[in-house]
Amino acid sequence: DVKVTQSSRYLVKRTGEKVFLECVQDMDHENMFWYRQDPGLGLRLIYFSYDVKMKEKGDIPEGYSVSREKKERFSLILESASTNQTSMYLCASSPVRRTLHFGNGTRLTVT
């Protein structure tokens, strides 16, 4: 079974802090994704990566950056956390043109 692991299930940070959300997959998938999920808005794509060191902006990249130094790890970085970034963050991976496999999510609260 594919395993996508997000480092934290719950996270509380202060406004202005730099926040790292980590995601690791164990199936050698080429593609990795970061989504945020908000009530009534569904899942919105923040960034995705189709290869090591390659990244593409999704629909809502502002305020976020990503890093993919190794194939199995995709990190989401909030450079200066703000309260409007309080949300559920979902990481996913997939082989090329195949089903997404999701982690369990990180519920981030910025106070």
Partner 1 sequence: AQKITQTQPGMFVQEKEAVTLDCTYDTSDQSYGLFWYKQPSSGEMIFLIYQGSYDEQNATEGRYSLNFQKARKSANLVISASQLGDSAMYFCAMRDTGTYKYIFGTGTRLKVLA
Q: Which residues of this protein are in contact with partner 1, per CB under 8 A? A: 31, 33, 35, 40-45, 48, 50, 56, 58, 88, 90, 92, 94, 96-97, 99-102, 104-105, 107
Task: Pick between residue 18 and residue 27 the one whose CB is nearest to partner 1.
Answer: 27
Residue type, 77: I
Determine the Cα–Cα distance for residues 75 and 77; give it in Å rounded to an integer: 6
Task: Pick between residue 16 and residue 95 the one whose CB is nearest to partner 1.
Answer: 95
Run of H or E residues at 81? none
Q: Is the dihedral of CA 14, 20, 23, 24 positive or negative?
A: negative
Calculate the alpha carbon distances from 108 to 1, 59, 96, 105 in Å: 27, 19, 29, 9
Smallest distance from partner 1 to CB 13, Å: 19
Task: Pick between residue 33 and residue 64 the one whose CB is nearest to partner 1.
Answer: 33
Smallest distance from partner 1 to CB 60, Å: 12
Task: Pick between residue 64 and residue 102 the one whose CB is nearest to partner 1.
Answer: 102
Decide: 71 and 31 in contact? Cβ < 8 Å: no
Smallest distance from partner 1 to CB 48, Å: 6
